[in-house]
Amino acid sequence: MFARLLLLFIALPLTDLVLLLILSKYTGVPVTIMIVVVTGVTGAWFARKQWQWLLDRTRARLHQREIPAELFSDGFMILLGACLLITPGLLTDLAGFSMLIPRCRQWYRSRLNSWIREKVQVVQVGGRPGPDRPEVVEGTARETPVQSSR
């Protein structure tokens, strides 16, 4: 976990900086700055458009009395994509724009759902045991006081 955080907070910004320096070597500093500004403005516009789409879809689903569960992950990805677009850099802009594209969000969501299914075990509590549910066992619980180690 620490290695991933180190990669996220040090290696990614450093890579973005190096890529911007290389880009400025070939295009010049003013053009590189203009690219950063244009991607920021375009990203903000696109993020706002996607956010409005999300709000409209959420309202429509709630009006139909449905729970818009997958739209919560879309909202998170739109917000994360907008945050990535705020940070200057080519890799973060690429990742940010990809999170604003609905097809890419769908792909990210399927990968996230697969990862969650691998990592999380769902246990149902309650119900009656029977031939169709042999894993459910009735029982009682008793709370025991925790003793202090002092």
Amino acid at 60: A
Number of residues assigned to the chain? 150
pTM metric for this prediction: 0.70
3-state secondary structure of 85: helix
Q: Tens digits of per-residue pLDDT, 96-147? A: 999 999 999 999 999 988 888 888 876 666 655 556 655 555 666 667 676 6
Domain extent listing, the chain: 36-119
Say how far apart CA 97 and CA 101 lie, in whole Å: 7
